[in-house]
């Protein structure tokens, strides 16, 4: 290895692991409270809550933790009791991870269920490489959901994927001949998009369109937790929810 090549490798390694110099961050991957392989026994639920500032400054930390859990499932070679769900919110913040692509393409047989949340198709393309990124992900997905769409590119994609429908057009015409007025009426069938791009952007924010393999698209509501008592009773107050006047004056 040449000195220049080594210098580049060293700089990259330093950039990705500099967060280990902080004791509180290093403790996340140095404890003995549980083993990463415990995720494969079907009896553990693990929440990784990294604040936005830390994730922006030290994305390598989240990448190491997620990669370690994925590796733990792979190492079981299919010998797991339950499927392991990896739900990655704000997935674009993690950047490109080859191990996530591996989970997408081959993780199903190892018992991995991957659920990733992106703000837009643009975020997915930026993280995983160009316009081909969406086709690779959608081809491997058992279902895809879209909601609160404001991007015209995404709205066009949804409209095209929903396909066409047949509608009946009622036409009425009038004609005058020699002082006589006549009227004719006709009906004909024509095609139009099942949902137009502008109709996608005008959907309510609590609606979604779901695409599943081999089935027509589904337009339905979303299970927003604070609207459902059985869900709201299981969580505490959100730091981001509007504060009441009583709370503000406390």
- Output b/e per residue, 193-214; b: 16+ Cβ within 10 A: ebbebeebeebeeeebbebeee
Three-state DSSP at 195 gives coil
Both tokens of 172, joined, read 């009425």
Contact criterion met (CB below 8 Å) for 83 and 111? yes
Average of per-residue pLDDT across 133-159: 91
Split at pLDDT 50, 70, 90, the class of 243 is low
Q: Give the pLDDT score at 250.
A: 46
The CATH architecture one would assign to domain 3-162+196-235 is 3-Layer(aba) Sandwich (3.40)
Q: What proportion of the chain, given as a percentage, has pLDDT over 70? A: 95
Q: Give the pLDDT score at 96.
A: 87
Phi-psi domain of 137 (left: phi exceeds 0; alpha: psi -120 through 50; beta: other): alpha
Q: Give the pLDDT score at 57.
A: 82
Contact criterion met (CB below 8 Å) for 248 and 178? no
State yes or no: pLDDT of 34 exceeds 80. Answer: no
State yes or no: pLDDT of 195 exceeds 90. Answer: yes
State yes or no: pLDDT of 110 exceeds 50. Answer: yes
What does the DSSP 8-state code read for residue 118?
A: -
How remote is the C-alpha of 41 from its chain's centroid? 26
Give the integer Cα–Cα distance in Å for 136 and 142: 12
Domain coordinates in residue numbering, the chain: 3-162+196-235
DSSP secondary structure string, 216-238?
A: --EEEE---GGG-HHHHTTS---
Average of per-residue pLDDT across 144-163: 93
Sign of the alpha-carbon torsion through 64, 92, 6, 21? negative
* 0.85 exceeded by pTM: no
Both tokens of 225, joined, read 């937790």
Split at pLDDT 50, 70, 90, the class of 149 is very high
Average of per-residue pLDDT across 169-176: 80
Average of per-residue pLDDT across 67-94: 88
State yes or no: pLDDT of 50 exceeds 70. Answer: yes
């Amino acid at each position: 290895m040449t000195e220049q090549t080594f210098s580049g490798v060293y700089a990259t390694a330093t950039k990705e692991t500099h967060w280990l110099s902080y004791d509180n961050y290093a403790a996340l991957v140095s404890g003995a409270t549980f083993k990463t392989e415990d995720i494969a026994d079907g009896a553990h639920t693990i929440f990784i809550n990294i604040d936005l500032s830390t994730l922006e400054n030290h994305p390598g930390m989240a990448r190491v933790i997620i990669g370690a859990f994925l590796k733990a499932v792979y190492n079981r070679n299919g010998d797991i009791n339950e499927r392991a769900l990896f739900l990655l919110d704000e997935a674009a913040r993690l950047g490109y991870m080859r191990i996530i692509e591996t989970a997408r393409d081959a993780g199903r047989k190892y018992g991995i269920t991957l659920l990733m949340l992106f703000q837009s198709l643009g975020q997915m393309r930026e993280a995983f490489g160009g316009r081909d990124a969406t086709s690779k992900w959608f081809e491997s997905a058992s279902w895809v959901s879209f909601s609160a769409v404001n991007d015209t590119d995404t709205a066009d994609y949804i409209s095209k994927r929903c396909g066409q429908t047949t509608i009946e057009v009622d036409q009425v015409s009038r004609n005058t001949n020699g002082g006589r007025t006549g009227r004719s009426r006709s009906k004909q069938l024509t095609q139009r998009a099942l949902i137009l791009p502008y109709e996608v952007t005008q959907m309510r924010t609590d609606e979604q369109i779901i695409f599943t393999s081999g089935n027509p698209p589904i337009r339905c509501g979303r299970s927003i937790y604070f609207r459902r008592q059985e869900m709201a009773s299981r969580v505490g107050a959100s730091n981001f929810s509007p504060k009441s006047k009583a709370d503000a004056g406390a």
